[in-house]
Amino acid sequence: MIERRVSIENATRYWRRSVRRMRRAVTRRSRLLTFLAILGPGMVAANAGNDAGGIATYASTGASYGYRLLWALIPVTISLAIVQEMCARMGAVTGKGLADLIRERFGVRWTALVMLALLIANAGVTVSEFVGIAAATELFGIPRYISVPIAALAVWWLVIHGSYQRVERVFLTMSLVFLSYIAAAFFAKPDWSSVLSETIRPSLQNDSEYLFTLIALIGTTISPYMQVFVQSSVVERGMTAKDYPQIRIDVWSGTIFSNLIAFFIIVSTAAALYPYGIKVDTAADAARALAPLVGKYAETLFAIGLFGASMLAAGVLPLATAYSLSEAFGFEKGVSHSFREAPIFLGIFTFLVAVGGLVAILPGLPLIRVLLVTQVINGLLLPVLLVAILRLASDRELMGQYANGPVHNLIAWLTAAVVSALSLIFILRSVAS
């Protein structure tokens, strides 16, 4: 009888321990799922900068200047997180997109100016995505005259017929091969003491090419369309002010992750290309930085990642632009509508895809240079959008207790001022030369 009682007690203790372990496992799993669930708009928007233009800009920076521009990533990372957080917060508090708020608070004229800046910037970036597709397929020996029209038709068809989300994960997975730049940076055996010193010690040069690269670096990291996208995404998800702590984690996590990738791209290309004076003029040049890791397969790996990132952005960017412009001026919008129901919305999307594809197949087009120029356009137009965002996020009548504090305002206005000053200096030097 005693043995039976002991056996029952042992079984009971075992069962209780099993239940506790299961509860802990469920809790850990639920926390993980919750964390992954909130890594949405901020993570996607920040990493959108690591597209064709972003990769070209970071690779060209490392190849041309070594580690000397690494310092810029620190203030750019902080500025990006601050600006993204403001837009995400506005979306959660007001339940409205950025274009909607600009129209309501500033009127049609200001809306037209901001939307024009956004259209120009996004048109340039859309071109860069098709240029990225051309660069990727040419590494496989496929001429751009064949690959780009097919890609443009594929992107248009997928979005118009509402099935783009089905292949989005495939393109996103393909673009994740750029994570290999982290390993490539270590395999290239850089001088880590120089990397550290250049990261924490700003170094400035007073020449047009340096300013061009610096503005491109800022433009590709803090792209205007990213701000519109993150706010619209928060609104579409139905996130509110009570979700603000999760939104903040999402924004900062996405920003840090994306800019770490940028950091390692610059380090790997600086270590692999800069000592030998190899400039990044072609996609093959950018792929060489992966050679220490994967050898002869560097071009293939780079081409797959570049193609996936470019195809993903080539669909998302024109679509986000069409949503923003339609929202700003009150036009019908949505991919579920026909051309008769939403002619402006679908017309804008079709126009951007067509222009992007046509420009990318122009003969003799310097692909990498085009990618850099589009990022400079982003940098030049960024102050226009930043001023609108800052005025909205600081409006206590609109934002209430969630309005910008002194620290937010200081960093954000400083970002706008620095970008504006760099843009003005670049323009003046370009005209003078």
pTM of the model: 0.79
CA 258: distance to chain centroid?
8
Distance between CA atoms of residues 229 and 256, nearest Å = 18
Return mean pLDDT, the chain.
80
Domain ranges, residue 338: 40-432
Tokens of 54: 């972003």
Q: How many domains does the chain have?
A: 1
- Give pLDDT, residue 73: 93
CA separation for the pair 288, 203 (Å, rounded): 26
Q: pLDDT grade, residue 29 (50/70/90)?
A: very low
Q: How far, rounded to the nearest angstrom, does the alpha carbon of residue 307 sit from its chain's CA centroid? A: 16
CA 172-173-176 angle, 5° bins? 90
Query: Is residue 16 included in any domain, yes or no?
Result: no
Q: What is the DSSP letter of 71?
A: G
Stated length of the chain: 433
Establish if 29 belongs to a structural domain. no
Taking residues 194-206, what's their average pLDDT?
89
With beta carbons less than 8 A apart as the criterion, state whether 246 and 406 touch.
no
365, pLDDT greater than 70: yes
Q: Are 143 and 304 in contact (CB under 8 A)?
A: no
> How far is Cα 418 from Cα 432, in angstroms, rounded to an integer?
21
Which tokens is 294 given? 């994967």
Q: Is 207 within the bounds of a domain?
A: yes
Q: What is the mean pLDDT of residues 9-26?
A: 51
Give domain status of residue 140, yes or no: yes
3-state secondary structure of 326: helix
pLDDT in tens, 53-85: 788 889 899 999 999 999 999 988 888 888 889
pLDDT the model gives residue 70? 95
Residue with tokens 């998302």: 316
In-domain check, residue 28:
no
The domain that holds 424 is classified in CATH as 1.20.1740.10
Residue 184 lies in a domain: yes
- On whether residue 34 sits in a domain, the answer given is no
Token pair 């706010």 is found at: 231
Instruction: Tell me whether residue 377 is in a domain.
Output: yes
How far apart, in Å, are the Cα atoms of 285 and each of 161, 176, 282?
A: 37, 19, 5
What is the per-residue pLDDT across 145-194, written as a single tens digit (0 to 9) for each? Answer: 999 999 999 888 887 776 555 655 666 666 677 778 888 888 888 999 99
pLDDT over threshold 60, residue 26: no
